[in-house]
Amino acid sequence: MSAANGLALRESVCAEDEARVRRLVAGTGFFHAEEVEVAAELVRERVSRGPASGYHFVLALHDGELAGYACYGPIACTRSSYDLYWIAVDPGWQSRGVGRWLMDQAERRIAQAGGTRVYVETSSRAQYEPTRRFYERCGYAVDARLVDFYAPGDDKVVFVKVVAAAG
């Protein structure tokens, strides 16, 4: 574990993290119930299958409470591309550098694993404007836009960042 901003970083996921992730993701107010369930499902997959699940986590904790987390993994059938599946920060911890810290931690681990590109996708809805700006501040650029992907008028915006592979 390492500490920053009074937070501890943990990479291992336990069964109790499913409820923690569910609460955190629901508490942001950004996600529908089905999306909250997907976030919890990735924790279950990691707990039950371990590294073979392809899901990796970095969790930021404060006094045992989840302040934020990121989930990422290699993209099947690629040599060095990764998806950032989730990055979410508890509203009480937002605007305090936690999201950037989690992003840095995930990118570092991706590079150490030989990853060279990180993809992240989000909605084009106005509610997600701060999310898209966050990705841009972290060095991501829009690589694709899939019109009406989520619903009419709600495009999927795909961002990418090139990260240096370790060694």
pLDDT tens track for 94-136: 989 999 999 999 999 999 999 999 999 999 999 999 999 999 9
In the chain, what's the furthest Cα-to-Cα distance? Answer: 45
pLDDT reading at 2 higher than 50: no
In a domain, 93, yes or no: yes
Q: Identify the CA nearest to 96 among candidates 2, 6, 3, 1.
A: 6
For position 127, which CATH number holds? 3.40.630.30
At residue 51, what is the residue type? P
Q: Where are the beta strands (DSSP E) in the chain?
A: 3-4, 7-10, 56-62, 65-74, 81-89, 117-123, 141-151, 154-162
pLDDT at 4: 61
pLDDT reading at 21 higher than 50: yes
Into how many domains does the chain fold?
Answer: 1
In a domain, 83, yes or no: yes
10 bridge partner residues: 59
In a domain, 167, yes or no: no
Domain boundaries, position 12: 3-162
pLDDT reading at 1 higher than 50: no
71: number of Cβ within 10 Å: 24
pLDDT digits 0-9 by tens, 70-91: 999 999 999 999 999 999 999 9
In a domain, 50, yes or no: yes
Please tell me the distance from the alpha carbon of residue 99 to that of residue 57, in angstroms, as a whole number: 13
